[in-house]
Amino acid sequence: MGSTTIRDLALNHGAMRFDSSRLAHAGPSVFDPAAADNRAVPVQVGGRQAAWFTQGEFGAGVLRQYRRGGMIARLSRDRYCWTGAERTRSFAEFGLLRYMRERGLAVPAPLAAAYWRNGFTYRTAILVERIATVQTLAKVLEQPSHEAVARAIFAMHQAGVWHADLNAYNILLDEGGKAWLIDFDRGHRRGVSSRQRRANLLRLRRSLDKVAGPAGVAYWEELDHVYWRMAR
C-alpha cells in the first residue's frame, strides 16, 4: 500500500483501511454517525443525506456513507456489486486521495475507509479530514478566485486525475483564498485527455449556471480562460 502507516483491519463481514498515524484506536464505530464519541452533525449541503461532520482522535473529519443517485437508487440505495476489495468505492477513493496528497494537491487527507459485504453486494463508507474554515465555491462566487480554482483543477489534471462530479459544491475556498477539491468517488488516475479536461470543465459550467445563472456562467468563462492559458 506504499506507506508504513496504512493498515487493514478485518471487520464483521468486511474490512477497513486506515491511517494509523491519525487513528490509533481503529474500529467500525468511526463510521457510525450514531456513536456518541463521534459527535456527528449532518452536512447540510450535498452528501445525499449521508454525510456528517465528526470529531475524534484524528481531529475534525467528514464521514460519508456512499449512496446511489438517479433511477438506480430506487432499486438499491446503498448497495453496490462486489468486484473485489480494492475496487470498492471507498478503498478506491481512499487510494486516490493518498496519491494526490503525496503529490501536493489540495485535497482532504483520507483517514479511513470500510466496506461490509453481503454475498454479491456491499455497503461502504469513508472518513476524510475536514478542511478548516472553508466555503463552497457556490457561496463565494463574488470573490476573485478564478486563478486559484483554475490552478487546483489544472494541477489535478496534470497529475492524471479525472473528477467524476466536478461541481460548485465540490470546490472549497479557505480563508487564505486557497482552492480545495473534494469528493473523488468514481474518480480515477488513468490519465486525462484534452476531451476529458473539457468535459470536467463543462460539468462545472453546468453546475455554476444552475447555482447562479448568468453570474455563474461569467465566473466560469474567466476560470476557463485562465485554465487553458496555463495549458498552453
| All residues at 6 or more sequence positions from 40 whose CB lies less than 8 Å from its CB, including other chains | 33, 34, 52, 53, 54, 63
3-state secondary structure the chain: CCCCCEEEEEECCEEEEEECCCCCCCCHHHHCCCCHHHCCEECCCCHHHCEEEEEECCEEEEEEECCCCCHHHHCCCCCEECCCHHHCHHHHHHHHHHHHHHCCCCCCCEEEEEEEEECCEEEEEEEEECCCCEEEHHHCCCCCCHHHHHHHHHHHHHCCCECCCCCCCCEEEECCCCEEECCCCCCECCCCCHHHHHHHHHHHHHHHHHHHCHHHHHHHHHHHHHHHHHHC
Residue 165 is a catalytic residue: yes
Task: Report d(CA 195, CA 189) in Å as an integer.
Answer: 15
Task: Report d(CA 10, CA 212) in Å as an integer.
Answer: 46
Active-site residue among 32, 165, 174, 209? 165
Residues catalogued as catalytic: 165
